[in-house]
């Protein structure tokens, strides 16, 4: 389970979840203002022996009609303290070379999504791919505000964006946009200002980091400390849940260890883990 990429079926279009790594995190990080007395009954079944939540870090490879499309690229070299940065090995396991990738979609600029976009000398890791990011996201990570983030959190995105601009491999999009045949990017702000979610072949919704836990499906109001604007992300989550339930989309996300369809209940939504994942 640890290393083997999972396969999602998007109505005949194969999608491969590429595991970049695993980390365990405190529920206090995943859910801002976590209160064990209120949330514990829902969260406790998922905690490990150290009272942490296991979290996956991952990217998605789509075998689109227009060629291979990669959604995010993992940590690359930017998480030396974690067992992470394994997206490139996961591609190798599938027999895919970096130059086989035609398009890379960047959901957002956090290190665990953009670190793998560059190689050891800051060169683009996918030299024959058009890279797509939301304009607002590119502007934010190029701003003095991002530069001033603690712990050099802006460095991976700045490094990647500069390398891609220099190589003329970067395109920006605004609004909901068709990126390739059967690949639609949806504006999904809140986790970061220009976060994108992706719908593959009207069948799979890759939600990036709008959902950091499967508990965000029944509890969309539980925002994360990693959300830059939690309330905006909550509104985005509700919009994506409505769309997933209405269109019978398989909901999957970078850090959610399971995927599933979304069913409407009397007071919200629930995730029905899927055989398709
Ligand atoms: Zn992330």
Predicted confidence (pLDDT) per residue in 196-234, tens digit = 999 999 999 999 999 999 999 999 999 999 999 999 999
Q: What does pLDDT average to over the chain?
A: 94
What is the 274 CA–ligand 1 centroid distance (Å)? 22
Reported as a pLDDT band with limits 50, 70 and 90, residue 54 is confident
What proportion of the chain, given as a percentage, has pLDDT over 70? 97
What is the 147 CA–ligand 1 centroid distance (Å)? 19
- Over residues 79-117, the pLDDT tens digits come to 888 899 999 999 999 999 999 999 999 999 999 999 999
User: What mean pLDDT do residues 45-65 have?
Assistant: 93
What is the 31 CA–ligand 1 centroid distance (Å)? 14
The pLDDT of residue 4 is: 54
Beta strands in the chain (DSSP E): 6-10, 13-25, 53-64, 67-71, 101-105, 130-134, 170-173, 177-180, 183-187, 196-200, 204-206, 250-252, 260-265, 268-273
The pLDDT of residue 274 is: 81
What is the 277 CA–ligand 1 centroid distance (Å)? 20
- Over residues 65-76, the pLDDT tens digits come to 999 999 999 999
What is the 57 CA–ligand 1 centroid distance (Å)? 7
What is the 266 CA–ligand 1 centroid distance (Å)? 31
DSSP 110-134: -HHHHGGGB-TTS-BSSTT-EEEEE
Q: Are 154 and 110 in contact (CB under 8 A)?
A: no
- Over residues 251-261, the pLDDT tens digits come to 999 999 889 99
What is the 105 CA–ligand 1 centroid distance (Å)? 14
* Cβ atoms < 10 Å from Cβ of 153: 16
What is the 112 CA–ligand 1 centroid distance (Å)? 5
Reported as a pLDDT band with limits 50, 70 and 90, residue 5 is low
What is the 60 CA–ligand 1 centroid distance (Å)? 13
What is the 116 CA–ligand 1 centroid distance (Å)? 13
**Is the pLDDT reported for residue 276 higher than 90?**
no
The pLDDT of residue 277 is: 47
What is the 7 CA–ligand 1 centroid distance (Å)? 20
- Over residues 165-206, the pLDDT tens digits come to 999 999 999 999 999 999 999 999 999 999 999 999 999 999
**What pTM value is reported for the model?**
0.95
Reported as a pLDDT band with limits 50, 70 and 90, residue 275 is low
What is the 255 CA–ligand 1 centroid distance (Å)? 7
What is the 226 CA–ligand 1 centroid distance (Å)? 9
* 6-273 CATH pick, 3.40.50.1100, 3.60.15.10, 3.40.1400.10, 3.40.640.10: 3.60.15.10
What is the 74 CA–ligand 1 centroid distance (Å)? 9
What is the 134 CA–ligand 1 centroid distance (Å)? 16
In the DSSP assignment, the letter for residue 40 is H
The pLDDT of residue 1 is: 41
What is the 264 CA–ligand 1 centroid distance (Å)? 26
What is the 252 CA–ligand 1 centroid distance (Å)? 13
What is the 67 CA–ligand 1 centroid distance (Å)? 25
Question: In sequence order, what are the residues at sequence separation of 6 or more whose Cβ sits closer than 8 angstroms to the Cβ of residue 106?
Answer: 72, 113, 114, 117, 131, 132, 133, 137, 160, 196
The domain segmentation of the chain, as residue ranges, is 6-273
């Amino acid at each position: 389970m640890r290393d083997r990429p999972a396969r999602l079926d998007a109505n005949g279009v194969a999608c491969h979840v590429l595991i970049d790594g695993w980390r365990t995190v405190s529920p206090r990080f995943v859910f801002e203002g976590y209160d064990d007395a209120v949330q514990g009954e829902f969260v406790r079944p998922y905690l490990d022996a150290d009272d942490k939540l296991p979290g996956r870090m991952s990217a998605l490879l789509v075998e689109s009609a227009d060629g291979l499309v990669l959604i995010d690229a993992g940590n690359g070299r930017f998480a030396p303290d974690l067992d992470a940065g394994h997206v490139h090995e996961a591609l190798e396991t599938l027999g895919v070379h970096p130059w086989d990738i035609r398009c890379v979609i960047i959901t957002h600029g956090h290190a665990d999504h953009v670190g793998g976009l560059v190689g050891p000398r800051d060169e683009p890791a996918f030299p024959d791919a058009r890279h797509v990011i939301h304009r607002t996201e590119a502007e934010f990570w190029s701003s003095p505000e991002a530069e001033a983030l603690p712990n050099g959190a802006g460095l991976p995105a700045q490094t990647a964006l500069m390398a891609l601009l220099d190589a003329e491999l970067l395109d920006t999009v605004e609004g909901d946009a068709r990126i390739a045949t059967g690949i639609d990017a949806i504006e999904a702000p809140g986790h970061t200002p220009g976060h994108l979610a992706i719908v593959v072949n009207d069948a799979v919704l890759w939600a990036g980091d709008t959902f950091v836990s499967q508990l965000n499906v029944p509890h969309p109001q539980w925002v994360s400390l990693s959300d830059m604007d939690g309330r905006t992300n909550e509104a985005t989550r509700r919009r994506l849940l409505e769309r997933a339930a209405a269109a019978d989309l398989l909901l999957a996300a970078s850090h959610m260890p399971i995927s599933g369809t979304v069913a409407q209940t009397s007071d919200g939504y629930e995730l029905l883990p899927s055989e398709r994942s």
